[in-house]
Structure 1
Amino acid sequence: MEREPLRLAPGEPLWVFGYGSIVWKVGFDFDERVICSARGYRRRFYQGSTDHRGTPEFPGRTVTLEPCDADVNPPCWGAAYRVPPERAEEVLEILEVREKQYDKRIRLDLYDDNGDVVVRDAVTYIATGASENLNWLGEASIEEVAETIATAVGPSGANSEYLLNLADAMRGIGVHDPHLDELERRVREIKENRTGE
């Protein structure tokens, strides 16, 4: 989707927040990685993928950040990557292609487990239900989401591989995400049942 160019101050590094595939498949050079969280957001598989983990005929589901009440919901954990100023433009070009099906590029502050800000104005990409987002699938029952993820396959591979790699990556950085864990369990069950048929 067409976006306004991101303006960085001269000499300013680019911080990128990964909460999905960027956590396990970064795809760009960086010089620092910080485990941190976004407050007021939760990870949900609401975005359709027709170019990576599904097809136009059968879209897969990939994660986005859904705004939520920060006083009630735990923060969404992931990793922030510092890109040095001289590589910032190049990395932004990579991200604009990689995240082209996501309709919003936002900047947000990121926090450690004490609630202190550790990164300011990180860039990330999210999907919304706005009319310009033609691949939005939105909310569905966990059973329906699991069934889609267990079935969809796209140019980048199986949708289930995306989920399982993300679940492994979250465990690898010490993150417990109940929604992700439940989806992983259900998708594994679906795939095991199909293998046994």
Structure 2
Amino acid sequence: MVLWVFGYGSLIWKAGFRYDERLVGFINGFRRVFYQGSTDHRGTPAYPGRTVTLEASPGDVCWGVAYKVSGEEDEQIALSYLEVREKQYDEKAYLDFFTDPMSTTPAVSGVLVYIASPDKNLNRNYLGPASLEEMANQIVNAEGPSGPNRDYLFQLEKALLHLGCEDKHVMDLANAVRSIIAEMNMSL
């Protein structure tokens, strides 16, 4: 048995588990959005940060990476690690992963994807949509045990650009955060 895991946020640049192969590609029908609150990594319960989740969006694709984990022991270690790391993501889906935009045949079927649902009864940390300015202000000011929320955003932007993916939502948000930081520095 082989486990494939799709990373579309921090898993892109920091897997945190052993893997045998890493493929760049995408899943269909979803878009990456900064709607999930982070109270344990990039924020606190008193001031949550914002991290990405997936939102169903027919016709869209979400680029990221898929990791192949082989061997029963490595699979168990990876899954145990992910269950802690992704504990605020209350849904798991098994989706088709593509590496070629022209192909109708997935490179891998059944890739495990962690998703934070918008159901507040199941996902108490779901923040949902907000204006670009509101999200940027929250990201500028949030910090948690894993560091400032802005670092997460900037690392995601850099990792996506390294993959050749220009995600408009991520880039617009990163530019808004940079503008706020520049204004703060000018007023000092």
| TM-score normalized with structure 2 length | 0.95
Aligned-partner Cα distance in 2 for 1:35–1:117: 13
Residue 151 (structure 1) shift:
1.0
Measure how far apart 1:85 and its partner are: 2.5
Residue in 2 aligned with 1:192?
Answer: 182
Q: Distance in 1 between matches of 2:69 and 2:143?
A: 31
Give the equivalent residue in structure 1 for 2:77: 90
Unaligned runs of 5+ in 1: 1-11
Structure 2 match to 1:108: 95
Distance 1:125 1:57 in 2: 24
Q: Secondary structure at the match of 2:96?
A: strand
Letter in 1 for 2:24: I
Map of 1:116-131 to 2, 5 A cutoff? 116-130=105-119, 131=121
**Any idea what the Cα deviations from partners look like across 1:55-82, whole Å, max 9, x if unmatched?**
1111000000100112xx3x11000000
Structure 2 partner of 1:81: 67
* Structure 2 partner of 1:167: 157
Number of residue-to-residue matches in the alignment: 183
Opposite residue 108 of structure 1, the aligned amino acid is L
Counterpart in the other structure of 1:148? 138
Q: Specify every segment of 5 or more residues in structure 2 that has no aligned partner in the other structure, as ranges.
A: none
Which residue of 2 is the match for residue 39 of structure 1? Answer: 28
Distance (whole Å) between structure 2 residues aligned to residue 194 and residue 126 of structure 1:
34
Compare 115-124 and 40-49 and name the one that shifted more. 115-124
Is the partner of 1:68 in helix, strand or coil?
strand
Equivalent residue number for residue 19 of structure 1: 8
Alpha-carbon distance between aligned partners in 1 of 2:89 and 2:137, rounded to the nearest angstrom: 22
CA-based RMSD? 0.9
Task: Report the alpha carbon displacement of residue 121 of structure 1 after superposing the two structures with TM.
Answer: 0.3
2:71 partner letter: P
**Which 10-residue stretch deviates more, 150-159 or 106-115?**
106-115
Q: TM-score by structure 1 length?
A: 0.90
Residue identity (%): 48
Task: Report the Cα distance in structure 1 between the residues aligned to 2:127 and 2:169, rounded to whole angstroms.
Answer: 17
Q: State the secondary structure of the residue aligned to 2:35.
A: strand
Q: Does the aligned pair in 1 maintain the 2:17–2:77 contact within 8 Å?
A: no
SS in 2 for 1:56: coil
State the distance in 1 between where 2:27 and 2:136 align.
25
Runs of 4+ in 1 over 3 A off after TM superposition: none
User: Could you say which residue in structure 2 is the equivalent of 1:181?
Assistant: 171
